[in-house]
Amino acid sequence: MKVTVHDKTFVPYLSSIEIQDRIAILAKQISQDYEGKQPLFIGILNGSFIFAADLFKQISIPSSISFIKLVSYKGTSSTGTVITSIGLEENLTDKDIIIVEDIVDTGKTLTEFLPSLSKQNPASIKICTLLQKPEALQYPLDVDYVGFSIPNKFVVGYGLDYDGLGRNYSEIFQIGE
């Protein structure tokens, strides 16, 4: 069924069952890859809160989770815009970190944010995103776990918003033609 968010109409794209089935596979893969380790999942707010919760529930190895919000501010003229995080209290030294994102679009946000995480000397950093728009990628970002590769069209639902609304749907909708 179509939904309207603000002034735009969206059509069903990924059902709740498709999303949950894919998450089960991702969680199994991550649990296998990190066997014997104790990864720290870091969910990027706001968009990833539903995905991170559903993924984390299916992880079968000892793991912890924390959430951060990314804020961008204007640095010096040589550094341009700088993206930093708020809310992370853990010491990241020697931790195996899995970043949990809702969607990687141009890759700008994570490309600009990752150096500040690396500075804290974690053992490893991997990225897990529910959605990726490969056609939109403009920054050289290696994404390790991808739920769904999707076309370059705007989507809402399952945590993703259009101007603040639409996050509450349990399925994902794509912008109508």
Closest CA to 67 of 102, 17, 22: 102
Q: Shortest distance, CB of residue 85 to ligand IMP, whole angstroms? A: 13
Q: Shortest distance, CB of residue 106 to ligand IMP, whole angstroms? A: 3
The CA angle 98-145-96, to the nearest 5 degrees, is 20
Which residues in this chain contact ligand IMP in the complex, by CB under 6 A?
A: 47, 101-109, 154-156, 160
Place of tokens 């990833």: 48
Nearer to ligand IMP, 27 or 150 (CB): 150
Place of tokens 């989770």: 65
Q: Shortest distance, CB of residue 102 to ligand IMP, whole angstroms? A: 5
Read off φ and ψ for residue 83, nearest 5 degrees.
-110, 125
> Looking at the annotation, which residues are catalytic?
105
The answer to whether the beta carbons of residues 117 and 96 sit under 8 Å apart is no
Nearer to ligand IMP, 54 or 105 (CB): 105
Nearer to ligand IMP, 38 or 106 (CB): 106
